Amino acid sequence: MQFMEQTIAHSLEVWKRCAETRFVRAMGEDTLDREMFLDYIVQDSIYLRDYLKVFAYAITKSDTLRDMQLYYQLLGYVNDGENVTRLNYLKDLGITDAQVDQMAKRGPCADYCRFLVETAARGTQEDILMAMLPCMLGYRYVFEELKKRAPQVMDGYYGPLVADYTSEGYEACCKFWTEIAQEKCGGLDPERQKELEEVFYQASLHELYFWQMAGGER
């Protein structure tokens, strides 16, 4: 089994729990409280600010122009691609990005952001990859599971959000970055790989805690 296959398999049970959280299930059942969704979008918007900082760390810790360009492109993809739907929801819910700038992180969001930034600041490029990938890959897993379980969600209010993370373009992005991670980490010694697998697992747990926070379970 390749390193990334093993690493994802180690965190898969956590991702399954994410897909079964109260928040995600309520999205599929169209019973999610709109104020709860607003809080989620706000906290996710705050989180993305620190998530983008991680790419900046990755660029500074890159040894080749290719790596710098890859992280720069991904930063642009997250900032431009994911931002469109998020901003549309914020506008519909009566909140601007400028207002989000003044809002505070809630507990699990603050913990997750701290984990990301501290890992990026003290770690290597490989640590950064392991810290950031569970968000990217986990979102695809969660929303694919939601789409399979409740296909009608695509026709409702949350359809654009689910569509973003189940699109062919997003799938291709996930596949590409999984391959990059395999390329970077696959040849490392087993002890170092174990450390990196744990970073990935801890980030996956933070994903779970964020979803639980969103649904009022934490």
pLDDT of residue 167: 93
Nearest to 210 by CA among 16, 44, 46: 44
Give Dmax over CA atoms of the chain in angstroms.
Answer: 51
Is the distance from CB of 142 to CB of 19 less than 8 angstroms?
Answer: yes
Encode the chain (218 residues) as per-residue pLDDT tens digits: 699 999 999 999 999 999 999 999 999 999 999 999 999 999 999 999 898 889 889 999 998 998 888 888 877 766 666 678 888 999 999 998 889 989 999 999 999 999 999 999 999 999 999 999 999 999 999 999 999 999 999 999 999 999 999 999 899 989 999 999 999 999 999 999 999 999 999 999 999 999 999 999 98
Which residues, other chains included, contact 126 with Cβ-Cβ below 8 Å and sequence gap of 6+?
A: 181, 184, 185, 188, 192, 196
pLDDT of residue 79: 62
Which residues, other chains included, contact 218 with Cβ-Cβ below 8 Å and sequence gap of 6+?
A: 107, 108, 209, 212
How far lies 191's CA from each of 29, 31, 179, 181, 188, in Å?
44, 46, 21, 17, 8
pLDDT of residue 126: 95
**Quick one: how far is CA 6 from the chain centroid?**
19
CATH number reported for the structural domain that contains residue 198 in this entry: 1.20.910.10
DSSP state of 96: -
Q: Which DSSP string corresponds to 161-217?
A: HHHHHHSHHHHHHHHHHHHHHHHHHTTS-HHHHHHHHHHHHHHHHHHHHHHHHHTT-
How far lies 22's CA from each of 26, 82, 110, 198, 213, in Å?
6, 23, 21, 26, 10
Nearest to 132 by CA among 195, 58, 185, 21: 58
pLDDT of residue 154: 96
Residue span of the structural domain in which 168 resides: 3-214
pLDDT of residue 82: 62
Nearest to 127 by CA among 196, 71, 43: 196
DSSP state of 153: G
pLDDT of residue 97: 85
pLDDT of residue 84: 83
pLDDT of residue 71: 85
Number of domains in the chain: 1
Dihedral of the alpha carbons of 159, 165, 166, 171, in degrees to the nearest 10? 160
